Amino acid sequence: MKRNSKVIFMAVIFGLLFTGFIIAGGQQEAESSKGVEDVDMTVDFAEVQWSDIASTTAATRIVLEAMGYETTSKIVAVPIAFQSLSAGDIDVFLGDWEPSMSAITTPLYEAGEIIDYKINLTGAKYTLAVPKYVADGGVTSFKDIAEYGEELDYKIYGIEPGNDGNQLIQQMIDEDAFGLGDFELIESSEAGMLAQVRAMKPKEEWLVFLGWAPHPMNTIHDLVYLDDGDDYFGPDYGAATVHTATRVGYAEENPNLGRFFKNLEFSLDMEGEIMKDIADGIDAWNAAEKWLKANPEILGDWLDGVKAVNGEDALPVVRENLGI
């Protein structure tokens, strides 16, 4: 009886050890095949109806999807983009233009409701502009606009409702700054505003509107940016940096994506080339893909230290999946 008990005891021990080896081996195999540690494999973007943000968002999404992530993008007004980040409904917004958006963003940043994660573009500008023929006629400064109110039909053309630039124009009107109290803000969209510029150009009809760089408008039209708007749009013709904003905790929850977005930077030339194709009728996704295939060297910077979803280094995976 004792001998049988000993045999049974040893069999149980052997069985437990064997099971342990199987479990440990399975865990090791799972670890070796595990991809990146990011919690969220879908990256949700906010996007506004500007061709520069369409360009950068499309290029970023193309690279992320080539890494194995899924992406979405929702077209919203500027205030909604930041509200969505604050609520956690959106992960990333690549279009925080500072300082022009500071009235919207500063309270949220200071309250810790969203994260100012990274400057992704330097050298931008954003202020009021006129066609050169209007500047030649006497409007070269914010201070000149009211003097030529009749010629300008007492209108200033903006873009989509809720946009920060529109808010600055409306603030000037409400405060009668530069004598603009009798003027009206005309809101439409980037495309609508620029259609107005094109329509008035042949007869050299006068208008003043929101202008910015990077944007093909600067090569398509002969523009002059107006002086003396520093108190509203900032110095140096609304000199701007564009920031990547994220929801709180995003980079910590998704360290691989956090590293990618920390690497992500754009250039004026890059955005200008993609936007020119968009202006020529190519959709943003195809225009961005065309640029990436022509300029694959940028991927080395963007993907430094970044992994694809399958756990491999991202650069060769992305190059293979994009055929570059």
Going by C-alpha positions, the residue among 206, 215, 211 that lies closest to residue 128 is: 211
The burial of 69, by beta-carbon neighbours within 10 Å (0-12 exposed, 13-18 middle, 19 or more buried), is given as: buried
pLDDT, tens digit, for every residue of 175-202? 999 999 999 999 999 999 999 999 999 9
Helix (H, G, I), strand (E, B) or coil at 257: helix
Is the distance from CB of 46 to CB of 93 less than 8 angstroms? yes
Tens of each residue's pLDDT in the chain, 324 residues: 334 444 433 443 444 444 443 334 444 333 333 567 788 899 999 999 899 999 999 999 999 999 999 999 999 999 999 999 999 999 999 999 999 899 999 999 999 999 999 999 999 999 999 999 999 999 999 999 999 999 999 999 999 998 899 999 999 999 999 999 999 999 999 999 999 999 999 999 999 999 999 999 998 999 999 999 999 999 999 999 999 999 999 999 999 999 999 999 999 999 999 999 998 999 999 999 999 999 999 999 999 999 999 999 999 999 999 999
Is the distance from CB of 83 to CB of 54 less than 8 angstroms? no
Tokens linked to 77: 């007004």
Going by C-alpha positions, the residue among 38, 37, 56 that lies closest to residue 46 is: 56
Is the distance from CB of 186 to CB of 156 less than 8 angstroms? yes
pLDDT, tens digit, for every residue of 158-170? 999 988 999 999 9
Question: Nearest 5 degrees, angle CA 160-CA 126-CA 237?
Answer: 150
Element (H, E) at 72: strand 70-75
| pTM score of the predicted model | 0.82
**The pLDDT of residue 130:** 98
**The pLDDT of residue 139:** 98
Distance CA 189, CA 39 (A): 36
**The pLDDT of residue 35:** 65
Q: Going from the N-terminus, what domains does the chain have, and what CATH number goes with each?
A: 42-124+240-322 (3.40.190.10), 126-238 (3.40.190.100)
Would you call the peptide bond into 131 cis, given omega within 30 degrees of 0 as the criterion? Answer: no
